[in-house]
Chain A
Amino acid sequence: MDRRSVLKVAGVVSAAATALVAMPRLAMAAYTEKAFKAKGGADALQNVYGANATTPSDQVKLKAPDIAENGAVVPVEVETDMQAESIAILIDGNPSPLALTADIPAGTKGLVKTRCRMGKTTNVTAVVKSGGKLYTASKEVKVTIGGCGG
């Protein structure tokens, strides 16, 4: 077994363990170093949901400006009519793309609004987990002044 597959197995085991631990407490969204420090969107999703196969869907509604004058404050809104279990926001061009994950228990609407930082012009992707599958919607946001410090 090479190193890669060892890591993969370890990842699956720890994901399963997390799922077991999290279940009784109604699957709370919690910050995880691995997911939020991941350098790629697919990696981040793999670490949050244990899968990164996504399907674009028009039932995921992503609202973001076409042009953000100030990258430090970009309003992003994700809404869905599907029975969402979880919502995530990815900003593809950021040093660590995953910006937010939210858990949506039954009775809570599939809606999250927040304000994000964007380093440069890039795609913003909304991910909605529903019925065990990941659905996405993307939009390019042009940034004139980056908001990642520097």
Chain B
Amino acid sequence: MSSIRIKAKERKGEVDVKCLMKHDMETGLRKDKSGKKIPEHWIQDVTAELNGKAVFSCAFNTSISKDPYLAFAFSGKKGDTLKVSWKDNTGATDSAETQIK
């Protein structure tokens, strides 16, 4: 299963999108039990595409909470396909698609 959960709902021509991404978002400041620093590991870029065209994109710092929540809105209509993808600092990526309801 994808690490991203998306809810996209249309109301009066405006689509409200809420996403939850499952990610540790390690800041690089935390230490493990032996006192060693846990290396940074966080989502850097998030992009949302509507039918293949970017409608929203943002960049995160390590100061975004673990399992990031992100909400935004744009004008659109029901039935369109919204794709949300992220890329973290190790180069790992994930994406998920949903139909706008």
Write the residues of chain A forming the contact surface with B, with a CB cutoff of 8 angstroms: 26, 28-32, 36, 72-74, 91, 94-96, 98-105, 107-109, 111-118, 147-150
Residues of chain B whose beta carbon lies under 8 Å from any beta carbon of chain A: 14, 27, 29-31, 44-45, 47, 54-66, 68-75
Structural contact, B29 and A148, CB atoms closer than 8 A: yes
Give the distance in Å from the alpha carbon of A149 to the alpha carbon of B25 in the complex. Answer: 11
Instruction: Show 7 A/B contacts (Cβ-Cβ < 8 Å), sorted by A.
Output: A29-B57, A29-B59, A100-B61, A104-B56, A105-B54, A111-B71, A116-B65
| Number of cross-chain contacts by CB at 8 Å | 108
How far does the Cβ of A129 sit from chain B's closest Cβ, in whole Å? 13
Q: Per DSSP, are chain A's interface residues mostly helix, strand or loop, or mixed?
A: loop
Q: Is the CB of B69 within 8 A of A100?
A: no
A102, B29: Cβ atoms under 8 Å?
no
The answer to whether B57 and A102 have CB atoms under 8 Å apart is yes
A101: which B residues are within 8 A, CB to CB?
58-59
